[in-house]
Chains A and B, each alone.
Chain A
Amino acid sequence: MTNDKLILTPYLTPDLVQLNLTVGDWEAAIRAGGQLLLNAGKCTTVYVDAMVKAVHELGPYIALAPGLALAHARPEDGVLALGFSLVTLDPAIAFGSEANDPIEVMICFCAPDSESHISILEALAVRLRDLELQQRLRQAETIAEALSAFEGVADEKESP
């Protein structure tokens, strides 16, 4: 995979990042990530509700790796444009996932179809596989620090 940084740059913008957010539960966490997408004009409130509803209905499968969750809903649930948001949680929040709680880093995305998000999600996943990157995100105090954590991660670097 090449030019990951270039792929991510238009999407990982400061207005779509919120760090060290303190919330009471997983639902508030998802709503916060959704609010960033909403504020950026990427989706409607319907979409934020749909992301929450998905977890109520299907369970906390969105917690896909230790400390990491990926929240989203369907393209037809009120998506206006392709968007990604990044929220770090302090303290970490239980999503109800036996394997991956508590969640410290959450990514929300909204995609207008089933294809357009794939290359960006791949680029994000390749980077998030790096445990050092996850650590840097958790420790980031400023949005600039969080965004720079995504730079300088070798594309071919493997997780242990």
Chain B
Amino acid sequence: MKRPRIMAVCGFGLGTSLVLKMTLDEVLAQHGVTAEVFCSDMDTALGQTYDLVVTSRELAQRFMDGPQPVIVVDNFLSTAEIEKNVLPAVLDLIAH
């Protein structure tokens, strides 16, 4: 996959998910990884086309039944956590 679509989800798609997207974009840029990161709200998230979901522990369970992988992020400001938990999944998507 050349450019995976990564969906950052929060309640309304414009606050916490935006912070998560910022941190994720920064980590991807640092590692020279190209991916499309976009925000979505809970109401429309399941109707979106995406390859990977990143969201909070509280919201993640709503995506667990879907075919795409779901990654829980606890600290949306932590580049270290995203490097450790999200980056490998993105690299995996690109490799396949």
**Residues of A bordering B, CB below 8 Å:** 54, 57-62, 64-66, 68, 70, 72-74, 97-100, 109, 111, 114, 117-118, 121-122, 125-126, 128-129, 158-160
Instruction: Count contacts on B: residues with CB < 8 A to the other chain.
Output: 25
Contact (A62, B14) CB under 8 Å given A97-B58, A100-B75:
no
Q: How far is the CA of A73 from the CA of B80 in the complex (A)?
A: 29
Scan residues 17-70 of chain B and give those whose CB is less than 8 A from a CB of chain A.
18-20, 22-23, 42, 55-59
Known contacts A61-B56, A99-B74; A121 and B15 CB within 8 A of each other: yes
The contact of A111 among B10, B14, B23, B78, by CB within 8 Å, is: B14
Do the beta carbons of A64 and B12 come within 8 Å of each other? Answer: no
State which of B10, B74, B79 has its C-beta within 8 Å of the C-beta of A159. B79
Whether the Cβ atoms of A61 and B75 lie closer than 8 Å is: no
Contact across chains for A58 and B77 when beta carbons are under 8 A apart: no
Q: Please, which residue of chain A has its CB at the minimum distance from the CB of B19? A: A125
* In the complex, chain A residues whose CB is within 8 Å of the CB of B42: 58
Task: Report the minimum CB–CB distance from B51 to chain A (whole Å).
Answer: 22
Cα separation A157 to B20 with both chains bound (whole Å): 18
Q: Which residue of B lies closest to A129 (CB)?
A: B77
